[in-house]
Chains A and B, each alone.
Chain A
Amino acid sequence: MSNEDYLKDISEIKDLMNKSSRFISLSGLSGILAGVYALIGAAVAYWLVINHSGGLLYIFHGWVFWTCMAVLAMVAILSVITGIILTTRKAKKNNEKIWDNSSRRLLLNFLIPLVVGGIYCLIILDQGRYGQTGGLMLIFYGLALVSASKYSLGDIRYLGYIQIVLGLIASYYPGYGFWLWVIGFGIMHIVYGTWMHFKYDSK
């Protein structure tokens, strides 16, 4: 065997290791769109609170609270739908199956911290500690990303770290929770999505 053959062997080994253990068809574009939805949602919530709730970003009441929750849910649902559509499209292009061992593992490892965090946020909201939710959402979302990164593009781990740090700051300064949420879910998604898009998708 020549040197080139050995090189080919090594690159094939790497490729197989990745393909068999990681789901890599995540779409950068869906990250950008998720960030845009988050920004729009945050703008709507901000407007509502400023005009109808006395301008305090962490004291909600009555219908304003429920409308904000509905907006939040809309942002989440839209992001998930966009993610599924764009990822399916990319997987088809990559000849990767959308539902196999690697995507199942990815989803499971992503959802465990996320669902736990979601339930915890609901409990906190039920206790009326609204100021904490922004930080908690960031922290658990960050943990979910870190936990999922082993089964997908390794880069999302760093997005996870950023979200965790933002979340911890938000927990300490609940008054800035809203703005940190905007940075984490809005701006960071757009920045990261753009980066991923140029790194992987545009090739």
Chain B
Amino acid sequence: MSIINNINKLFDHRIRLGIMSVLMVNEYADFKTLKELLGATDGNLASHTKALENAEYILVEKQFIGRKPNTRYSATKLGKTEFKKHIEALEKLIKKT
């Protein structure tokens, strides 16, 4: 049963999985890049990043590039570990059945 425990409810959505996937292999990604990669709407992406931010899986940095506000995201250490656990659990689940 321990395998099932590692399936993380917080990642149980394709947009959230997507955000984490991108942030696993990139140091940073900004809002626009994530939006394009995931094909999500502004509101949708914002609510999912918020959820991941609240869990402290990702870090949000707001800054200005010239005069334009820019929000960029990075994965925290906790987020990376949890994501890895989640993927391993997924893989085991698939192999088992």
On chain A, the number of residues with a Cβ less than 8 Å from chain B's Cβ atoms is 16
One digit per residue, 1 when the CB lies within 8 angstroms of any chain B CB and 0 when it does not, for chain A 96-128 equals 000011000000000000000000000000000
Q: Which of A12, A13, A21 contacts B26 (CB 8 A)?
A: A21
Task: For chain B, give the interface size range.
Answer: 10 to 19
Cβ contact within 8 Å between A6 and B94: yes
Cβ contact within 8 Å between B93 and A16: no
* A19 to B33 Cα, complex, angstroms: 11
* A20 to B35 Cα, complex, angstroms: 12
Q: Does B10 contact A (CB under 8 A)?
A: no
> Among B21, B24, B33, which residue has the most Cβ atoms of chain A within 10 A?
B21
Cβ contact within 8 Å between A16 and B94: no
- In this complex, what residue of B is CB-closest to A3? B97
Cβ contact within 8 Å between B94 and A10: yes
Assuming the contacts A10-B87, A13-B87, asked whether A19 and B94 have C-beta atoms less than 8 A apart, the reply is: no
* A189 to B53 Cα, complex, angstroms: 47
Cβ contact within 8 Å between A20 and B97: no
Q: Which of A12, A17, A100, A101 contacts B24 (CB 8 A)?
A: A17
Cβ contact within 8 Å between B90 and A10: yes
* A82 to B17 Cα, complex, angstroms: 38
One digit per residue, 1 when the CB lies within 8 angstroms of any chain A CB and 0 when it does not, for chain B 14-33 equals 10011001101110010001
- In this complex, what residue of A is CB-closest to B28? A101
Assuming the contacts A20-B25, A21-B26, asked whether A9 and B90 have C-beta atoms less than 8 A apart, the reply is: yes
* A101 to B30 Cα, complex, angstroms: 11
- In this complex, what residue of B is CB-closest to A10? B90
* Residues on B with beta carbons closer than 8 Å to the beta carbon of A10: 87, 90-91, 94
* Residues on A with beta carbons closer than 8 Å to the beta carbon of B94: 3, 6-7, 10
Cβ contact within 8 Å between A6 and B90: yes
Cβ contact within 8 Å between A6 and B93: yes
A sample of 28 inter-chain contacts (CB < 8 A) reads A3-B93, A3-B97, A6-B90, A6-B93, A7-B94, A9-B17, A9-B90, A10-B90, A10-B91, A10-B94, A12-B21, A13-B17, A13-B18, A13-B21, A14-B21, A16-B21, A16-B22, A16-B37, A17-B24, A19-B37, A20-B21, A20-B22, A20-B25, A20-B26, A21-B25, A21-B26, A100-B33, A101-B26
B interface list, Cβ under 8 A from A: 12, 14, 17-18, 21-22, 24-26, 29, 33, 37-38, 87, 90-91, 93-94, 97
